[in-house]
Structure 1
Amino acid sequence: MRLIAFIAGNGLPALGLRTGSQVVNLTEAGLPSTLDALLKLPDGLSAVKDAAARATRHLAFAELKLLPPLQNPSKAFAIGLNYVDHASESNFEPPRHPVLFQRFPSSWVAHGEPLVRPRVSTQFDYEAELVAIIGKAGRYIAKEEALAHVAGYAIFNEGSIRDYQFRSGQWLWGKNFDRSGGFGPEFVTADELPAGASGLQLTCRLNGEVLQSANTRDMIFDVATLVAACSEGMELQPGDMVITGTPSGVGLARTPQVWLQPGDICEVEIEGMGVLRNPVIDEARA
């Protein structure tokens, strides 16, 4: 199944089931208005098909204003240096353990919404990434059982403000500027993809030019390993996110360096999952 978050005709958030070019309003059919709330229900995903069968209206996907798939996850883990080639281009040794930091919901926008280059920096970079979304709570999850805790996947563009990122040993500052990342366009349930979303082609295009091209099987720590590792520190909850890291080709490591500019169109595509597309604008001055 492919679920989207969008603004309904009444101006309120709604959750939809997308089938091709058509969308069924699941909220209108009695389900919650967000994926966050749906995943917290004991049989939330199982109720989708019954709700869709009760719906009487179909909406055109292309005409909807999308929201990020999740509205307010309790935790959004981001993983650094999770591809050997990216660690090398960043002048780091491949990590022995997952490198974790936090990403806040204020730092991302939906598919089609503009990424905002802040007025304090011109070093605005792109990062194409796969997101795993938790559907079943757990603490100290064994790697062998970890994928049973993953409800599905989405696409992320982890926009990074590089000069702020490296002002200290902690990356959080440069990774959380308002509206600097993209998240969407939809949530794809795990049963539609290979186990752990492994073996999928991942591509980033800037104004049509391919700047990143890799495969999710090349991650140093696969989805199961990341979920298990994150659960060692805290109990994972339905709706929590694991943003699994980016491959080589980021703008920082290029010669000459490539930074996102106002007017650019940045696209992240993952095989079988679609395309996340965002324009770039400059932050408005007061």
Structure 2
Amino acid sequence: MPRPKFISFTRGGTPGYGVLAENRVVDLSARHASQWPTLREAIEDGALLSLAEEAASLQPDFPVEEVRFEIPIPAPEKLICVGVNFPDRNEEYKDGQAAPSNPSLFIRFPRSFTGHDRPLIRPPESPQFDYEGEIVIVIGKRGRRIPEAEALNHIAALTLCNEGTIRDWVRHAKFNVTQGKNFDRSGSIGPWLIPYTDESQLADIRLETRVNGEVRQSDRTGRMIFSFRKIINYVSTFTTLVPGDVIVTGTPTGAGARFDPPIWLKPGDVVEVEAEGIGILRNTIADEA
């Protein structure tokens, strides 16, 4: 049985959420917005699986062509990203250092992301626009100092991210990358949320990024330096994770900056991020108007 695909969308100027069934949408927000205004509240109440069962019994309400995809969690309290989480990515730095003992982390703002099938925006400040395909875990259960053995029980859903980066702007200061990671609509999350039910969904799945059909990044989650368990354990040490929090878990080698010469994204390019069992996140590239 295919796993349900929960989407957040805008239709006719009105935000909503539902389940994608083939090429049509079961509008759950029309039925439950008073109880759960967004998918974040539904996740907080542990309602995804019951909503999926309900959606399976309903006739779809309208074709998917009538909606604009939004990021699945419209207002997460936290968007935390993991850097350098595949062995070949660590070797790219050519600094002779072994993989670090703890994850490198940084924060992104919701405004820096857009939804599936919408353009990623290249700003006028720099042509060095790059892609990073990643798997996203969405937290479903509140926790602090979560043991690794219990960590996966705190995941509600999975999705994908193109963690678009303005490369020269991550070098504007000595110690941070915040500027180059937070240009408006430079990244994407989606296309949907797949409810998390068991560890096989994450154990050793292929993650791939393509630009104009050419494979640029390809690796397996089983090779990650920091497992999903470790990431949740580590992050929850210093901050309380709450339902709807988004953790972007790291990208394989093969970003445009690592080519010689670098290959930057340009208007008209199509970037696809794909992971087994989750789906394909697709975006074009456009210059900021």
The alpha carbon displacement at 1:8 in A equals 3.2
The alpha carbon displacement at 1:71 in A equals 0.5
Query: Residues of 2 paired with 1:90 and 1:175: CA distance?
Result: 18
Aligned to 1:39: 43
The total of aligned residue pairs comes to 281
The alpha carbon displacement at 1:39 in A equals 1.2
Query: Residues of 1 paired with 2:225 and 2:160: CA distance?
Result: 18
Aligned to 2:195: 189
Aligned residue type for 1:82:
N
Aligned to 1:8: 11
Aligned equivalent of 1:115, options 117, 120, 127: 120
Query: Residues of 2 paired with 1:199 and 1:57: CA distance?
Result: 33
Q: Is the 8 A contact 1:29 1:54 kept in 2?
A: no
Aligned residue type for 2:287:
D
The alpha carbon displacement at 1:50 in A equals 5.5
In structure 2, runs of 5+ residues without a counterpart are none
Aligned equivalent of 1:26, options 21, 25, 28: 28
Aligned to 1:61: 64
The alpha carbon displacement at 1:195 in A equals 3.7
Query: Residues of 2 paired with 1:231 and 1:52: CA distance?
Result: 33
Aligned to 2:186: 180
Task: Report the secondary structure of 1:277's partner residue.
Answer: strand
Once the two structures are superposed, the pairs formed by residues 93-132 of structure 1 within 5 Å of their partners are 93=97, 94-132=99-137
The alpha carbon displacement at 1:22 in A equals 3.0
1:236 matched to 2:236? The reply is: no
Query: Residues of 2 paired with 1:28 and 1:55: CA distance?
Result: 13
Query: Residues of 2 paired with 1:228 and 1:246: CA distance?
Result: 19
Aligned residue type for 2:44:
K
Aligned residue type for 2:179:
W
Aligned to 1:82: 85
The alpha carbon displacement at 1:88 in A equals 1.0
| CA-based RMSD | 1.7
The alpha carbon displacement at 1:51 in A equals 4.0
Aligned to 1:270: 275
Aligned to 1:70: 73
Higher mean C-alpha displacement, 177-186 vs 63-72: 63-72
1:246 matched to 2:251? The reply is: yes
Query: Residues of 2 paired with 1:203 and 1:52: CA distance?
Result: 30
The alpha carbon displacement at 1:19 in A equals 2.8
Once the two structures are superposed, the pairs formed by residues 126-275 of structure 1 within 5 Å of their partners are 126-168=131-173, 169-191=175-197, 194-195=199-200, 197-275=202-280
Aligned residue type for 2:177:
W
Higher mean C-alpha displacement, 140-149 vs 270-279: 270-279
Query: Residues of 1 paired with 2:202 and 2:233: CA distance?
Result: 16
Query: Residues of 2 paired with 1:196 and 1:143: CA distance?
Result: 17
In structure 1, runs of 5+ residues without a counterpart are none
Aligned residue type for 1:236:
L
Superposed CA offset, 1:155-193 (max 9, x none): 0000011111012221111111111001110001112x6
Query: Residues of 2 paired with 1:248 and 1:231: CA distance?
Result: 27
Report the identity percentage.
Answer: 40
Query: Residues of 2 paired with 1:8 and 1:38: CA distance?
Result: 20
Higher mean C-alpha displacement, 239-248 vs 160-169: 160-169
Higher mean C-alpha displacement, 235-244 vs 25-34: 25-34
TM, length-normalised to structure 1: 0.93
The alpha carbon displacement at 1:243 in A equals 0.2
Q: Is the 8 A contact 1:28 1:55 kept in 2?
A: no
Query: Residues of 2 paired with 1:199 and 1:270: CA distance?
Result: 10
The alpha carbon displacement at 1:62 in A equals 4.3
Q: Is the 8 A contact 1:196 1:224 kept in 2?
A: no
Aligned residue type for 2:150:
E
Task: Report the secondary structure of 2:149's partner residue.
Answer: helix
The alpha carbon displacement at 1:46 in A equals 3.9
In the TM superposition, structure 1's runs of 4+ consecutive aligned residues that sit over 6 Å from their partners are none
